[in-house]
Amino acid sequence: MTNEAADLEATLLREHPAAARSLSALGRTLAFPKGIPFQAAQARGSTINATLGQLTDDRGHPLPLPAIARGMVGLDPRQTFLYAPIEGPPALREAWLARQRRLAGEPTVPVSAPFVTHGLTHGLSLLADLFVDADTDVVLPSPCWENYDLLFTMRTGARIVPYSPWTEGAFDAGRLAAALATVRGKALVVLNFPSNPTGWWPDPAHARALVDVILAHPGPLVVVTDDAYQGFVYEEGLHDRSLFWDLAERADPERHLIVKCDGATKELVFFSSRVGFLTHSATGEAERVITEKLKTLVRGTVGSASGPALSLVAAALADPRSDDAFEDRRRLMAGRYRALRRALKNLDPSRLRAWPFNAAYFARSSSSAPSRCRGGPSPAARRARHGHDRLPGPACAARRVLLARRGAHPGAGRGPGPARP
Ligand SMILES: Cc1ncc(COP(=O)(O)O)c(C=O)c1O
């Protein structure tokens, strides 16, 4: 380990023991090199900025090719055509955090500035690199988004601890408590509400129970709220904000680091943007260390974010009409959700049973006919890999029903099949 990495680790141990004790072997070695991006960050805002790496005119303005500039009319040229800071443009990070606080009813708990990622998948893979090793338990709901398998095992060899949060068709936070009790040492827990593929979002009592279970754990725990589908909720009286805030307000830095992973993908209905954010409960010097480590990972992989996508997301955040436009899309989805609920009422429950659902783009049903989601591993393959097929309930097939397409109906799981979700 270099002296720089050792210094960062010492700082993190002092300022946020849970984060320090959760680092992977790779995470411990990360220290941002003092190359061009480091120098460019130092020079930003100074009168004479002589750092190289990109082409500008004598006044620092970008010089895009006309064919490219024509497609970017109305966007801020500097943000669009020049390299963004690796952690993301400060104004965009602030605007995203302001939006998140507004959606959550303005919680005052201090949290980090959101770190820009290349979509949520990238955000989760950064967390895997930083915190997950073969000696880490990754606690995942069952069923869960299939890609968690790749994200948390492909490069890390971590042990997956699957648990079903359902007891006889009702959500049961005790199942998470039981899974956490089997954790061997350090662990990373993924919460995904509204969830893929169950399309479920908690009510206030369920949310409180979940938070209590997690915060009772001795740690070190990294708790990730994958908020990909934030806002797509279709019933009244449910919990009113991301669990990130409930956890961050009560987290003990000796035991827990809470991380929110979200982004423009679904929240701004901009699937191709590849703009995501990581916001966490470590602030001050601990935030500086975590940011430096994340920057090092980004520098060594994707380099930095895409300027045009960042500009478009910044424009959406600055536009006061965006909330109403999102609400129109949420209502469209709510209409499909209600149509699905009506259709399910007319079906024979002995042949097709819907699991509880109230949110996101999915519902899940169990039928007496064996089948599996297209594109996902078979139950046998899952069992071979994890010793558990992660499809709880009776010995029947569980299939995902997609709401994100027109004509969603209980049999739709066979038709379109999972696209990218
Ligand atoms: C639960 C969940 N998390 C993360 C993602 C990935 O989002 P992104 O496309 O921004 O990588 C998806 C995509 O469908 C998802 O369903």
- pLDDT (tens digit per residue) in 6-52: 999 999 999 999 999 999 999 999 999 987 777 777 777 777 666 66
pLDDT at residue 417 above 50? no
pLDDT at residue 153 above 80? yes
pLDDT at residue 397 above 60? no
Residue-by-residue DSSP string for 315-358 = HHHH-TTHHHHHHHHHHHHHHHHHHHHHHHHTS-TTTEEEPP--
pLDDT at residue 209 above 90? yes
In short, whether 119's Cβ falls inside 6 Å of ligand 1 is yes
pLDDT at residue 411 above 50? no
Q: How far apart are CA 175 and CA 141, in angstroms?
A: 10
Q: How far apart are CA 290 and CA 31, in angstroms?
A: 10
Mean pLDDT, rounded, for 393-417: 45
CB crowding 355-384: b at 16 or more within 10 Å, else e: bebbbbbbbbbbbeeeebbeebbebeebee
Are residues 253 and 286 in contact, defined by beta-carbon separation less than 8 angstroms?
yes
In short, whether 121's Cβ falls inside 6 Å of ligand 1 is yes
Burial grade of 241 (CB within 10 A; 0-12, 13-18, 19 or more): middle
pLDDT at residue 419 above 80? no
Are residues 214 and 190 in contact, defined by beta-carbon separation less than 8 angstroms?
no
pLDDT at residue 310 above 70? yes
Q: Would you state the pLDDT for residue 169?
A: 85
Give the architecture (CATH level 2) of 90-318: 3-Layer(aba) Sandwich (3.40)
pLDDT at residue 136 above 90? yes
CA-atom Rg of the chain in angstroms: 22
Q: Would you state the pLDDT for residue 407?
A: 44
User: Which of 121, 190, 230, 270 for mutating ligand 1's site (highest number of atoms within 8 Å of CB)?
Assistant: 121
Tokens 């959101």: give the residue.
Answer: 114
Residues 6+ apart with CB under 8 A from 289: 8, 11, 12, 15, 16, 19
Please, where in the chain does CATH 3.40.640.10 lie?
Answer: 90-318
Phi-psi category of 326—alpha, beta or left, where left has phi over 0 and alpha has psi -120 to 50?
alpha
pLDDT tens per residue across span 300-309: 999 999 999 9
CB crowding 121-146: b at 16 or more within 10 Å, else e: bbbbbbbbbbbbbeebbbbbbbbbbb
Closest alpha carbon to 192 in 155, 159, 222, 223? 223
**What residue owns the CA closest to ligand 1's atom 12?**
421
- 3-7, 341-345, 397-401: segment of lowest average pLDDT: 397-401
When the pLDDT of each residue in the chain is averaged and rounded to a whole number, the result is 88
User: Which of 265, 273, 277, 373 for mutating ligand 1's site (highest number of atoms within 8 Å of CB)?
Assistant: 265
pLDDT tens per residue across span 161-204: 999 999 988 999 999 999 999 999 999 999 999 999 999 999 99
Amino acid identity at 157: G
pLDDT at residue 273 above 90? yes
Q: How far apart are CA 279 and CA 272, in angstroms?
A: 21
In short, whether 120's Cβ falls inside 6 Å of ligand 1 is yes
